[in-house]
Chain A
Amino acid sequence: MSPNDIQTAEGPAVVLMVDECTELFDTATERSEAFERAVADVLALFAPIETIEEDFV
């Protein structure tokens, strides 16, 4: 366990610090791919808005 991990009633929990971390991705490609997946997840949330347009046109 990392020093940041905590013990909960259900058991140990892994705690990830995210505020100042730059070491997760080994390469710029991995970093870019992860970001593209994140963008795709966000765009999926707004997909219904795009379908509304088809209904109105």
Chain B
Amino acid sequence: MITTETMKIPFAITTVLGGVGVEVMLMPAEREVPEDWDDVRFTTARHTDGSPCASLCKCVVTEDRTMIRRGETVVIGEWTWFAGDASVLTGYRRTGPSETEAALEVRLEDLADDFAGEKILHDLTREDLERAVADAKRAGAERNTAQRTVTWWVEINMVLTDTLRLLFAAAVAGWAVTVVLGVTLVWWLIA
């Protein structure tokens, strides 16, 4: 249901659509012109903010009147005026956010809060990951050190084993030579 107000400007019809955040104003022409006429122009006095220069005002001189052709849309200040096919001039201006825009603003604030929360979580996760990477690097370095130590001991053991094996072989050989020489000496003495 549209209610009209005619108090401020008697010759205009105006209403504020709060849900949409728009004020609409209709200004009838002095006469009706058939819609199929080619060149129809509306002449109107407008303040710099786009509002009509009402009959008691008369501050806009004739030379400064605005001419709007039928089918044309003109933006003056905060008002947008367009001349439709009928012999009327229709204007509108925003009076505030619509219900949808207000809801979107609330949603935008909520999303901004969510984003801030996600950013904090992201920072904490990144710190955890950086700490884990540092721990892994430290553990890798310790493992490499331990591996080098073990490798050194294994190499030392291999050298010692080879040395012992060589000494044992030499001892066995010496013992065998001694036995052969001893037997040979005994045999020579008997003979």
A residues sitting closer than 8 Å to B (CB atoms) are 2, 4, 6, 8, 10-25, 31-32, 34-39, 41-43, 45-46, 49-50, 52-53, 56
Contacts and interface: CB of A to CB of B under 8 A. Distances in A.
11 contacts: A11-B39, A14-B37, A16-B41, A18-B89, A23-B28, A24-B29, A38-B24, A39-B15, A39-B17, A56-B104, A56-B107
A42 B90 contact: yes
A39 to B, nearest CB: 5
A16 B152 CA distance: 106
A57 to B, nearest CB: 9
Contact of A20 (B41, B55, B86, B107): B55
B77 to A, nearest CB: 16
A19 B52 contact: yes
Interface of B: 2, 4, 10-11, 13, 15, 17, 20, 22, 24, 26-33, 37-45, 52-55, 67, 82, 84, 86-90, 92, 98, 100-101, 103-104, 107
A35 B98 contact: no
Contact of B101 (A23, A34, A37, A49): A49
B28 A50 contact: no
A13 B11 contact: no
A50 to B, nearest CB: 6
A43 B30 contact: no
Contacts of A56: 104, 107
Given A16-B31, A43-B20, A22 B11 contact: yes
B4 A32 contact: yes
Q: Name, among A16, A41, A46, the residue most crowded by chain B CB atoms within 10 Å (CB to CB).
A: A16
Q: Name, among A25, A37, A42, A56, the residue most crowded by chain B CB atoms within 10 Å (CB to CB).
A: A42
A8 B41 CA distance: 11
A39 B13 CA distance: 11
B31 A38 contact: no
A-B pairs, 5 with minimum CB distance: A16-B29, A24-B28, A13-B39, A38-B90, A21-B30
Given A21-B11, A31-B13, A52-B100, A13 B43 contact: no
Contacts of A6: 41
Nearest to B60: A19
Given A4-B43, A24-B29, 11 more contacts: A14-B33, A16-B43, A19-B55, A21-B11, A21-B27, A23-B31, A24-B28, A34-B88, A35-B26, A39-B2, A43-B20
